[in-house]
Amino acid sequence: MDIRVTGFDLNGIGMTSQRTRNRLVQRLKDAGIKSQAVLDVMAVTPRHLFVDEALAHRAYEDTALPIGHGQTISQPYTVARMTEALLAAGPLKRVLEVGTGSGYQTAILSPLVDEVFSVERIEPLQRRAAQRLETLGYQNVRASLSDGTWGWPEHGPYDGILAAAAPEEVPQSLLEQLVDGGRMVIPVGGAVQKLVLITRHGQHFSRKTLESAKFVPFLSGIQR
Ligand code: SAH
């Protein structure tokens, strides 16, 4: 497939090299990720550029890593699983992401869908991620400082919604911003969380639990 990731050096050296990324992709396959499109994008996306330089050597381990402000860049397996579930019924045009964080999940979605709209509530993270995505040449991404409880109605409705933070209950606005037939992948719960896939059928929403999960909490308001 043609993967539109441009504007940066993909090769890296040592622990950030293509060979290191290929090892990660093999791990993801072993862990049950089947979508070749998702695996191909994971193979070329430079996760080491989405974490602090001091952590770059750990970027291709299959673990979450701190990105500051009490938040983490999601585990590669989780990113792959969520993306695969979101795309499983066919190609998506417009996707809303709640919780930009480092921008890594945004970068994985970007070549796989027509447009990504991504919101983040912590200003310094939002600013850094937006700048990083622009520098790396992700042209079909719009990022904004906003509380995702309200979705991003100006650009909706969305064919897909993906949340990287867990609310106790799925916000009504997010459900309303799904197109008929649209899909949402979101972790739900507090101490015990489940990753769920919600599909809209008119005014009815079906829910399927994908697996247990451990995400940061979905919080309201903007943090400056
Ligand atoms: N996919 C990101 C995950 C970051 S962690 C990555 O791989 O880097 C989840 C992010 O969701 C955090 O940055 C947190 O600040 C953000 N978040 C939590 N609640 C939110 C809300 N209501 N609106 C927008 N962002 C939110």
Cβ-based neighbours of 110, under 8 Å, separated by 6 or more: 4, 5, 116, 133, 138, 140, 141
Token look-up 């602090």 returns 52
* Residue of 75, 188, 216, 222 to test ligand 1 pocket, by largest number of atoms within 8 Å of CB: 216
Task: Give the DSSP letter string of 145-192.
Answer: E--GGG--GGG--EEEEEESEE-SS--HHHHHTEEEEEEEEEEEESSS
Mean pLDDT over residues 33-39, rounded? 98
Question: Crossing angle of helices 76-87/36-44, nearest 10°?
Answer: 140
| Ligand 1 pocket test, candidate residues 51, 100, 169, most atoms within 8 A of CB | 100
Give residue-wise pLDDT tens across range 11-34. Answer: 555 677 889 999 999 999 999 999
Q: Percent of the chain beyond pLDDT 90?
A: 92
24 contacts 62 by C-beta, under 8 angstroms: yes
What span, in angstroms and rounded, lies between the C-alpha atoms of 83 and 106? 10
Q: In Å, what is the CA distance from 63 to each residue of 60, 78, 183?
A: 8, 9, 26
Structural domains of the chain sorted by starting position, each given as residue range(s) with its CATH number in brackets: 63-213 (3.40.50.150)
Q: What are phi and psi of 55, to 5 degrees?
A: -105, 0
CB burial string 104-113: b at 16+ within 10 A, e below: bbbbbbbbbb
* Alpha carbons 119 and 136: distance in angstroms, whole number: 18
Q: What is the pLDDT of residues 192-216, one digit of tens each?
A: 999 999 999 999 999 999 999 999 9
Of residues 151 and 11, more confidently modeled: 151
Ligand 1 centre distance from Cα of residue 47 (Å): 17
**Using 50, 70 and 90 to split pLDDT, how confident is the model at 4?**
very low
CA of 112 to the centre of ligand 1 (A): 20
> Which residue's C-alpha comes closest to atom 2 of ligand 1?
101
Q: State the alpha helices, DSSP H only, in 47-122.
A: 76-87, 104-109
CA 32 and chain centroid, separation: 18
Indicate the range of 10-14, 32-36, 218-222 predicted with least confidence.
10-14
Q: Taking the alpha carbons of 150, 115, 90, 164 in that order, is the dihedral positive or negative?
A: negative
Mean pLDDT computed over 38-46: 97
* Residues identified as active-site: 74
List ligand 1's pocket residues with C-beta within 6 A.
67, 71-74, 98-99, 101-102, 104-105, 119-122, 125, 147-149, 164-165, 216, 218-220
How does pLDDT run across 64-99, given as a tens digit for each residue? 999 999 999 999 999 999 999 999 999 999 999 999
Best of 218, 220, 222 for a ligand 1 pocket test (most atoms within 8 Å of beta carbon): 218
Task: Determine which residue's CA is closest to atom 13 belonging to ligand 1.
Answer: 101
